[in-house]
Amino acid sequence: TATTKRATWNGVGILKDGHRVKVLGNVGSPADAAAAAASGAEGVGLFRTEFCFLDASDEPSVEEQTAAYAAVLAPFAGKPVVVRTLDAGADKPLAFLSPDPEPNPALGVRGLRVAFDRPEVLDRQLAAIAAAAAQTGADVSVMAPMVALASEAAWFVERARAAGIARAGVMVEVPAAALAAREILQVVDFVSIGTNDLAQYVFAADRQLGGVAALNDPWQPPLLRLIALVGEAGVALGKPVGVCGEAAADPLLACVLIGLGITSLSMNHTALADVGAKLATSSMDLCQLAARGALAAHDPGSAKLAARAPH
Ligand code: PEP
Ligand code: MG
């Protein structure tokens, strides 16, 4: 019977009750893209474009950028790919976009904030993304990193539309953006929660520092409560809400996220099969029970136990 059979994953994200979930890959290079496609990713939920240019001393031309993006999009013709615009700064400095030295780079001019000062760099990148999409036939959306306000999201969407890109969204990785999820969702086509930075900023704990790793645990109930706010806003407005941080790669936490209203999960290719298989054994009812238990917990350990109980 179905209950005794070991669940396997066929590359399509689906709960046992038939509920569809997009299970996507995080990529930063052609090799990552090939690995994600080979592992059954239905598309890409996060293409970190800054990874293409970590060694570039000057801004790559539109032609160079187009070639770099097309090489990553190639395995995904006809499939959804979310291309994130340059997330330069903090842990990923780009020589051609580096701001003046800052005392707190994680809190400085990074991500979309760089584009407010240099919009022409963003516009050239958007033009290259549109050209790479046309060349490869990938179903491309664009997404901005490090957005705090709905007005910033609206500014980005306007520029994406001007570049001829049909769908534009933003990351929710600053606590203010989670608290403003409804306003933001009104001006974008989708959002995707970056749990790595969201945890760093909500706990005021450097994501690269081992000494504060316990605070950056994606099972921390305060983080889950912020994610719940965004999930609820997505359900209320009928717009997709993804998760593309490390949290999405934990199979049990993936069930909790689905129960919180998340509609897509994007992860390293090595996690795709395990997350897909776990989702196939769960249902929306079970996910919602797990989510309710985890939200009410007081610490990561009891959140995990509460999520496991219905499963
Ligand atoms: C995140 O912050 O969770 C995220 C997915 O983006 P990055 O890890 O590239 O900052
Ligand atoms: Mg981030």
The number of the ligand 1 atom at minimal distance from the alpha carbon of 26 is 5
The pLDDT value recorded for residue 139 is 98
Dist CA 44 CA 24 (whole Å): 5
Residue 246 DSSP one-character state: G
Residue range 47-65: mean pLDDT, rounded: 96
Q: Confidence band (pLDDT; 50, 70, 90) for 100?
A: confident
Work out the mean pLDDT of the chain and round it to a whole number.
Answer: 95
CA of 4 to the centre of ligand 1 (A): 38
How would you classify residue 146: left for phi > 0, otherwise alpha for psi between -120 and 50, otherwise beta?
Answer: left
Distance, in Å, from the CA atom of 82 to the CA atom of 169, rounded to the nearest integer, reads 9
Q: Ligand 1, atom 1: nearest CA belongs to which residue?
A: 194
Q: Report ipTM (2 d.p.).
A: 0.99
* Contacts by residues 179-182 (CB-CB < 8 Å, ≥ 24 positions apart): 179/226, 179/229, 180/148, 180/149, 180/150, 181/229, 181/230, 181/232, 181/233, 181/234, 182/233, 182/236, 182/237
pLDDT in tens, 116-125: 999 999 999 9
Name the band, by pLDDT with cuts 50, 70 and 90, for residue 9. low
Cα(94)–Cα(130) distance, rounded to whole angstroms?
Answer: 22
Q: With a 6 A CB cut-off, is 242 part of the ligand 1 pocket? A: no
DSSP-derived letter for residue 264 is E
Catalytic residues: 244
DSSP code of residue 14 = B
Measured from the alpha carbon of residue 243, the closest ligand is 1
Query: Rounded to the nearest whole angstrom, what is the distance from the C-alpha of residue 194 to the centroid of ligand 1?
Result: 5
Residue with tokens 């965004």: 230
The mean-pLDDT minimum among 63-77, 91-105, 206-220 falls in: 91-105
- For residue 239, report the distance from its CA to the centre of ligand 1, in Å: 21
Rounded CA gap, 9 and 165, in Å?
32
Atom of ligand 1 nearest to the CA of 46: 5
Alpha-carbon distance of 301 to 305, in angstroms, equals 6
| Residue 84 beta carbon below 6 angstroms from any ligand 1 atom | no
Cβ pair 177, 184 in contact under 8 A? yes
Task: Choose which residue among 26, 44, 48 to substitute to test ligand 1 binding: the one with the highest number of ligand atoms within 8 A of its C-beta.
Answer: 48
Q: How far is it, in rounded angstroms, from Cα 28 to Cα 73?
A: 11
